[in-house]
Amino acid sequence: MTVIKHDIDPDGDVEIVLKDHGKHQTIPEVRVRKGTEFPLAEAPVVGSPILSDLVIPKDSAKNGDSQNKGGSDSNKEPIEIRIRVSSHQLSLVSPVFKKMLQGPFKEGTSPTSSSEPPIQEISASDWNVHALVIVLYIIHGRQHLAPQRVSLRFLVDVAVIVDYYDCANSVCLVVQLWDSLLPENQRNQSNTEFFILRLYISWVFSLSESFSRMAAWYLRTGQGIDLVETYDLPVAAILAKLDLKRRAFINEILTILNAIAKQHRLGKMTCKIFECRAMVYGSMQIGISEMKSANPLLDSPLYKGYSVADVISLVKQFPHTNWRLLSQQSAHQCSVRSLMAQTFTNIEKGMGQSKLSDFQHERS
């Protein structure tokens, strides 16, 4: 076994022992009817003076990548990384570390010479080692050694570690700086994977405005949680709660659509012109029939494969009747689209009202 040591606090009384580093797969996979490419930069950091002495053998990194992709590389020599840190600093910023170090079931200590105080060990596995080291440097008050910029992929790895050890308060200022300096192509993309990552980062670091924007986008374009494989990204509970809202919005659209059709069938609509009733009702019946025929999954309460935006678009494609009474100079205003306009406006407003505080109890 190859052992790599890294001192964050040379006088520290704790060693974090990391094994099987880099095995976490934190990039979700989303199956959609019309997917898009989602490349993420592999380069972990820019301008980091603290990682030059933490060189991980390339074979080890490849081994971690192959594990993520389901491959096996059992012939590679295992790597153990030992990071010297301070128990005081860990306990100060993280209740999880504090429990590990001070609780009744604290981790064991490693043997040392009789002249030295014992070094307590904390076991860890699977983390991105560079992300873990940078988080620990920040925890120890050495923010000036943190990198100037990081990639979105790296920022997600940091968020997963911070979430697990519950130490967001000590890292959030640096993360906000990193987030503001992300390359443009990693700040503005239009695919579901990107917004899930941004949603998770916003949730971990309590970025309220960003969380609301990401949640609104997911509600608008997400096609169901059954199509999302989150792997090791602990975001499933958040997505499940948002998916309930997605289904509720779609159900609201279809319910109101059917209610308007029923009103026209029974003659209870606001407009009392018979020709209007006949035109709109016929248009709605044809539209509903064709929509359900082409999209049978809309009869399922899960609405798998359909986003709120998809359903709104389908309704807007209903046949449009262009007619007028002989006494009128312009076309009659009643149509499926005009009758559903207020519903669409309300739905859009509702999708933008997700608050971070409503999801705080999802923390593990």
Helix (H, G, I), strand (E, B) or coil at 116: coil
- Print pLDDT tens along the chain (364 aa): 899 999 999 999 999 999 999 898 999 998 876 544 445 444 445 555 555 455 544 443 333 343 344 444 556 778 999 999 999 999 999 999 999 998 654 555 554 555 566 789 999 999 999 999 999 999 999 998 899 899 999 999 999 999 999 999 999 999 999 999 887 766 666 688 899 999 999 999 999 999 999 999 999 999 999 999 999 999 999 999 999 999 999 999 999 999 999 988 888 877 777 877 888 888 889 999 999 999 998 999 999 999 999 999 999 998 877 766 667 666 667 888 889 999 999 999 999 999 999 998 766 5
Cβ contact 22:61 at 8 Å: yes
Burial bucket for residue 29 (CB in 10 Å: 0-12, 13-18, 19+):
middle
Cβ contact 307:246 at 8 Å: yes
Helix (H, G, I), strand (E, B) or coil at 338: helix
Q: Give phi and psi for 92, each to the nearest 5.
A: -70, -35
Q: How does pLDDT run across 148-174, given as a tens digit for each residue?
A: 899 999 999 999 999 999 999 999 999
Any idea what the Cα angle at residue 51 is, between residues 1 and 45, rounded to 5°? 120
Q: Give phi and psi for 252, each to the nearest 5.
A: -65, -45
Helix ranges (DSSP H) in the chain:
58-68, 87-93, 95-102, 129-139, 152-165, 172-180, 192-204, 208-221, 236-266, 274-294, 308-316, 336-351
Cβ contact 224:246 at 8 Å: yes
The secondary structure of 255-298 as a DSSP string is HHHHHHHHHHHHT-SS---HHHHHHHHHHHHHHHHHHHHH-GGG
Between CA 135 and CA 168 the distance in angstroms is: 10
Which tokens sit at 160? Answer: 């997963």
- The residues, any chain, with a CB within 8 Å of residue 119's CB and separated by 6 or more, are 13, 14, 15, 84, 109, 110, 112
Region class of 141: left (phi > 0), else alpha (psi between -120 and 50), else beta: left
**Domain spans, the chain:** 2-147, 247-351
If we measure between CA atoms, which residue out of 271, 219, 266, 283 comes closest to residue 246?
219
Which tokens sit at 146? Answer: 């943190």
Which tokens sit at 193? Answer: 């994977």
- Indicate if the alpha-carbon torsion angle 14, 77, 28, 364 is positive or negative: negative
Q: How does pLDDT run across 246-257, given as a tens digit for each residue?
A: 999 999 999 999
Between CA 140 and CA 90 the distance in angstroms is: 8
Task: Name the DSSP class of 109.
Answer: E
How many other β-carbons are positioned within 10 Å of the β-carbon of residue 96?
Answer: 15
Which tokens sit at 336? Answer: 């499926």
Between CA 243 and CA 250 the distance in angstroms is: 11
Any idea what the Cα angle at residue 80 is, between residues 79 and 83, rounded to 5°? 140
If we measure between CA atoms, which residue out of 162, 175, 143 comes closest to residue 8?
143
